[in-house]
């Protein structure tokens, strides 16, 4: 369980480092500093890109596009229930962005962890897991 939490947190950090409603993110920083700090902007952009490649490749290989859609659908249903019971208001656009970042973090965290979950539930290892 702690492995899943760490993967989820890492996915959330990757997403929030790229973009969030505050001024503390890569997109906002690059908009204001690209020409003054071009080498650093390119380096940080490439590091973020590598993180996305790792997460997206693992997610697509483990749960696929349909699985990604299903995780988003479940998270959307949870948000709908919370909204319906009055536990969540969706008036603030920054709140909606944070919810989207959390939903995407769940997709990437579950995608990166799915092989471990499947191995525990079924007892069968994926071909990529044989060396573990």
- Across residues 22-47, what is the average pLDDT? 97
Tell me how many domains the chain contains: 1
Q: In terms of residue numbers, what domain contains 50?
A: 2-124
State how far the alpha carbon of 31 is from the alpha carbons of 10, 13, 46, 64, 124, in Å. Answer: 24, 20, 16, 33, 47
Would 120 be classed as within a structural domain? yes
Mean pLDDT of all residues in the chain? 91
pLDDT at 126: 61
For residue 94, tell me if it sits in a domain: yes
* Residue 83 placed within a domain: yes
What is residue 127's predicted lDDT score, i.e. its pLDDT?
62
Residue 129 lies in a domain: no
What is the per-residue pLDDT across 73-132, written as a single tens digit (0 to 9) for each? 999 999 999 999 999 998 999 999 999 999 999 999 999 988 777 777 777 766 655 555
CA distance 69 to 29: 31
Question: Could you tell me if 25 and 18 are in contact, meaning their C-beta atoms sit under 8 angstroms apart?
Answer: yes
Kindly state the average pLDDT of the residues 24-51.
97
- Alpha carbon distance 63, 42 (integer Å): 31
Please report which helix (H) or strand (E) contains residue 82, including its range. Answer: helix 64-84
The two three-digit tokens of residue 109, written as one number: 């965290």
The rounded percent of the chain whose pLDDT value lies above 90 is 80
Q: So what's the pLDDT on residue 67? A: 94
Report pLDDT for 130: 52
132 belongs to a structural domain? no
Q: Does the pLDDT at position 39 exceed 80?
A: yes
pTM for the model: 0.85
What is the pLDDT averaged over residues 62-69? 94
Q: Do residues 73 and 65 lie in contact, with contact meaning Cβ atoms separated by under 8 Å?
A: no
Q: Is the pLDDT of residue 7 over 60?
A: yes
Residue 131 counted as domain residue: no
- Is position 112 within any domain? yes
Asked if the structure places residue 48 within a domain, the reply is yes
């Amino acid at each position: 369980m702690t492995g899943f939490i760490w993967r989820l947190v890492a996915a959330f950090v990757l997403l929030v480092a790229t973009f969030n409603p505050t001024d503390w993110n890569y997109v906002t920083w690059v908009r204001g500093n690209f020409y003054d700090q071009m080498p650093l902007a390119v380096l940080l952009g490439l590091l973020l890109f590598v993180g996305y490649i790792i997460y997206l490749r693992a997610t697509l290989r483990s749960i696929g596009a349909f699985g990604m859609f299903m995780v988003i659908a479940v998270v959307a249903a949870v948000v709908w229930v919370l909204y319906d019971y009055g536990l969540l208001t969706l008036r603030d656009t920054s709140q909606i962005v944070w919810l989207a970042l959390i939903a995407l973090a769940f997709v990437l965290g579950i995608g990166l962890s799915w092989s471990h979950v499947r191995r525990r539930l079924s007892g069968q290892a994926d071909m990529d897991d044989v060396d573990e």
